[in-house]
Structure 1
Amino acid sequence: MTHGASVKNMMSLMASRIDAIARQISSGEIDAFLAAILDAKRIYVMGAGRSGLVAKSFAMRLMHMGLTSYVVGETITPAIGEGDLIVAFSGSGNTKTIGDIAETAKSLGVKVALISSNPDSRIGKIADFVIKIETQRDPVSCDAHEYEIRQMLGEHRSFAPLGTIFETSSLMFGDAVISTLMDMTKTEESDLKRRHTNIE
């Protein structure tokens, strides 16, 4: 197999895995999350590492929607308070810095939403809304696919830092949420474009 074929196989495998993950997400959890976003005065988004990059992408799209959104940790992010929603992206649900912030927000009367593979986690236990991004996998018979799945999930020793499935699924989930919110609020793509940066 060529390297190019390996890349294409990996993309196809990831797409099929994300499709399976999407089918397992609870529609009720999604409905509650959508309602929380629309009800919130302001939306604060956070995550660490690669999950933090996904969080920033989601915050940007919320801004494009015309919603008031901030990224936790940025210098211009204002104080949080009652009526606000904080959305945490954390595969483990136990990331210390994210957990500390979530607990502080909760103590201030803020609603907490968690996007995670582990609802039964430190953040999951205090969250008002939890979206479970299931990353467990079914056994496969093909050795090549077994190797590729291990790479995606970060289970292979040489690729332990990778584990892309949670972050990729979360990114797609966030974009799907924005598309659905656009339908719910009758927002046109032209409305988003008007809010897109024009000083790059």
Structure 2
Amino acid sequence: MSASSSPFDAERAIRMARQTLQIEADALRDLQPQQGASFAETVQAMLACQGRVVVMGMGKSGHVGRKIAATLASTGTPAMFVHPGEASHGDLGMVTRGDVVLAISNSGESDELAAILPALKRLGVTLVAMTGRAESTLASHADLVLSNRVTQEACPLNLAPTASTTAQLALGDALAVALLDARGFRAEDFARSHPGGSLGRKLLTHVRDIMRSGDAVPRVRPDTGFLDVMREMSAKGLGTTAVVDEDGRAIGIFTDGDLRRAIEAGIDLRERDARGVMHAGARTVREDALAVEAAGLMEEARVTTLLVSDAQGLLVGAINTNDLMRAKVI
């Protein structure tokens, strides 16, 4: 490699960036009309697949293939990547008769893929070729062909895979989207595949998972004296207490805010009981509700704590914004 003695040309770099993006944008636009019956048949084959979608590719196509396999797997289509070179040395045992193999090669002439084509045919898998050349060796052996043909690479030498790999990646995304739509894949299904992500936490975390329960829930009876109400609030550290009837249903709530407002109004609380100071009609949330729903209720009512009830309406817990923040729901 020869070192250039020319000074860096910022304007030329910007022009190259814009040209690259334009070429790749044009490649994606040209990719649209290339998709037709073969694309639909590929989606149908993957939907009917009793095994997994096995993605293969060499070099840059292999890197794209790994991403396609990961996207398929996370959107409801069991998939994995198998390196074609390793397949010739034992990894072909990962492929079973009920699988669909998606083989990616822009030229369709990858030696490593060509070497295992006879073995794949003997296995009886459905072979889908994603290639830029319909007359290639890979395409001629495939059951279905997806075209990712591009007129030019973004590389000034027209050599480095650039526009072609962008087209492969986009076509893989198109497959994943068409499949998840056909499966009726929902946000809840996506969350189950991503339990560690923010969406997973929001759609899989229920109030019962993070609420305070048992003795940690402040509660008093309606006839409890004011001093004992304050002791219960202080002991449980939530800045509030539920007022419950003899059956254990919340009939009211008393909060630090209620205390402050009563003092500001000059009310003498010493002779009051819980019924006399509580705010009736406490806001509650069901224990089987999503935690994100509790967060929405708090925001709507401008409160920091909610009482939690079970299906029978009995008080079973309490939840506040700190609980939601610790669980990373908000």
TM-score by length of 1: 0.80
Q: Which residue of 2 aligns with 1:69?
A: 79
Letter in 2 for 1:195: S
Q: Distance in 2 between matches of 1:174 and 1:36?
A: 15
The answer as to 2:48 corresponding to 1:39 is: yes
The answer as to 2:208 corresponding to 1:172 is: no
> 1:80 and 1:163, CA in 2 relative to 1: closer, same or farther beyond 3 A?
closer
Shift of 1:18: 1.6
- For the 8 Å contact 2:106–2:132, the answer to whether it is kept is yes
- For the 8 Å contact 2:130–2:148, the answer to whether it is kept is yes
Q: Distance in 2 between matches of 1:101 and 1:165?
A: 27
Shift of 1:106: 1.1
Q: Which residue of 1 aligns with 2:149?
A: 134
1 or 2, which has the higher strand percentage? 2
Shift of 1:4: 2.5
For residue 195 of structure 1, the aligned residue among 193, 196, 221 is 193
| TM-superposition CA deviations, 1:132-171 (whole Å, max 9, x none) | 11223xxxxxxxxxxxx5x52x572xx63x1311111010
Q: Which residue of 2 aligns with 1:9?
A: 19
Q: Distance in 2 between matches of 1:179 and 1:96?
A: 31
Q: Which residue of 1 aligns with 2:4?
A: none
Q: Which has the higher contact order (CA 8 A, sep 6+)?
A: 1
Unaligned 5+ runs, structure 2: 1-10, 198-330
For residue 87 of structure 1, the aligned residue among 99, 102, 108 is 102
For residue 60 of structure 2, the aligned residue among 42, 46, 50 is 50
Unaligned 5+ runs, structure 1: 137-148
Kindly report the root-mean-square deviation, in angstroms, between the aligned alpha carbons of the 2 structures: 2.4
Shift of 1:12: 2.5
> 1:89 and 1:197, CA in 2 relative to 1: closer, same or farther beyond 3 A?
farther
For residue 120 of structure 1, the aligned residue among 135, 142, 145 is 135
> 1:92 and 1:13, CA in 2 relative to 1: closer, same or farther beyond 3 A?
closer
**Which of these two proteins has the greater Rg computed from alpha carbons?**
2
Letter in 2 for 1:47: G
Q: What is the aligned residue count? A: 181
| Structure 1 consecutive aligned stretches of length 4 or more whose deviation exceeds 4 Å | 74-78
Q: Distance in 2 between matches of 1:77 and 1:60?
A: 19
